[in-house]
Amino acid sequence: MTKYNNLVEEAKKLAKAKKHNDCMTSAYVGSALITDKGNVYTGISIDADCAIGFCAEHSAISEMIKNKETKIEAIVAVSHQGKILAPCGRCRELIYQTNYNNKNTKVIMGPQKTSTLAKLLPYNWQNK
């Protein structure tokens, strides 16, 4: 998995948990993705009371879309404790809906473990 070690390191660098006040934290998780064009985009999670907030993958995908790209070659999320995390169900759908070809996105699941979005999301909400 050496090809994607830089993505893991980028995500790890961003995952520096911070408590902003009694109802909001950020960066418990960092994410990095690389597009089919070879550009890397990153993001952090935000957690706030009242279920406000989003996963790190969401902000990385937002950054990518801001730059007019949608096709993800590989993506990773890393916790502030340095653990590689699998994307939650909502993120799996978001990756798919961003570009249907992202079914082929490589999802980094561990130091020596990679899966594809198709394996993690065999049926999307539209049952396609």
Residue numbers at the binding site for Zn ion (CB under 5 A): 55, 88, 91
Judged by beta carbon, residue 8 or residue 29, the one nearer Zn ion is 29
Given the complex with Zn ion, which of 22 and 96 has the nearer CB atom?
96
* CB of 98 closer than 8 Å to CB of 61: yes
* Shortest Cβ 126–Zn ion spacing (Å): 19
Q: Which C-beta is closer to Zn ion: that of 4 or that of 54?
A: 54
Residue carrying structure tokens 């993506």: 75
40, 10 in Cβ contact below 8 A? yes
Residue 88 Cβ vs Zn ion, minimum distance, rounded to whole Å: 3
Measured in whole angstroms, how far is the alpha carbon of residue 40 from the centre of its chain? 12
Taking the complex as a whole, how short is the minimal distance between the CB of residue 89 and Zn ion, in angstroms?
8
Strand partners, 72: 35
